[in-house]
A = this chain, B = another copy of it.
Amino acid sequence: MGTAAGGGFPQWNCWCRCCREARTNPENARQRSQSSAAISADGHHWFLLNASPDVRDQLSRLPSNGHPSSTRYVPIEGVVLSDAELDHTLGVTLLREARHLPIYATPAIRAILERDSRILPVVRAFGDVPVTELPPDTIQALRHRDGEPSGLTVEAFTVPAGPPQFALDAAEGHTVGLMIRDEAGGSCAFVPGCGGLGPALMARLAEADILLFDGTFWDDDELKGLGISQRTAREMDHLPIGGPDGSLARLATLPCRHKVYTHINNTNPVLLERSPERAAVVAAGLQVGFDGLQLTADS
């Protein structure tokens, strides 16, 4: 649905090289909304992986979003969360008109949404928001809003990352990857925020047919170089793409059918269609995600 990091691309207050290009020359730098994915076993019943502040526009582009006969129609069956970051969860508030919106989240993510951002208590004032807890490393069925099985399961697994900046306290499991599997054996790993790629995590990701991975920054010093932040990519818990220790060199070795960067920050030169960084991603067998990209596990 969306492939940009928080703030989108271009970002409202940014005039870096990439954002200028996205405004004036979008064929060389496609605009992107904030990261989120939709997944389905049947092409009709969809689950959102994270709900971004751009969810309203994103849902209008869902493939199955036709012309329902009823006055009100909710085109998604639930929202699965990988963390409690604002760019991944504010969309839950924007979906409050659903009146019944199932959420799937780890206990740690749920606690931040209850206490720190208060997204859950606020949305509960408008309707029912049942939360199915996802203890890490446990397979959980995803069900349609009417309780029927969807044919999909989800398993959360912790990844190296810090908690959201606004969280007063955060337990283990505040930031996870999600492995979604269908009944035919197809699988998708969704890891939009990740600070490192150790051997256990690499082994897990190797099992996925589709991998959507943290493409926030190209360079560890990307924001420092622009004078935007004093922190490196790694200090912000995002493994940069480039360099000998970057994610590209590691992910290039994985056998997944589709390997796609998402959650791409507006400063990342892979956003420029003709940049050497983009060419390096493609040469390594990965893709730079874009809004509207559709992938299937078996082709």
Contacts and interface: CB of A to CB of B under 8 A. Distances in A.
Contact of A13 (B13, B16, B73, B90): B73
A73 B11 CA distance: 10
Nearest to A96: B86
A11 B12 CA distance: 23
Interface in A164-191: 164-166
A2 to B, nearest CB: 12
A122 interface: yes
Contacts of A54: 56
A93 interface: yes
Interface string A97-137: 11000000000000000001110011011100000000000
B126 A72 contact: no
Interface string A59-92: 1100000011111111100000000001000100
Given A7-B97, A125-B165, A14 B71 contact: yes
Nearest to A6: B97
Interface residues of A, number: 49
A12 B56 contact: yes
A116 B117 CA distance: 9
A95 interface: yes
A267 B70 CA distance: 14
A120 to B, nearest CB: 11
A77 to B, nearest CB: 13
Given A96-B86, A166-B122, A72 B117 contact: no
A93 B95 contact: no
A8 interface: yes
Interface of A: 6-8, 10-16, 20, 23, 53-56, 59-60, 67-75, 86, 90, 93-98, 116-118, 121-122, 124-126, 164-166, 226-228
8 contacts: A12-B97, A13-B97, A14-B71, A14-B72, A15-B69, A15-B70, A90-B94, A117-B118
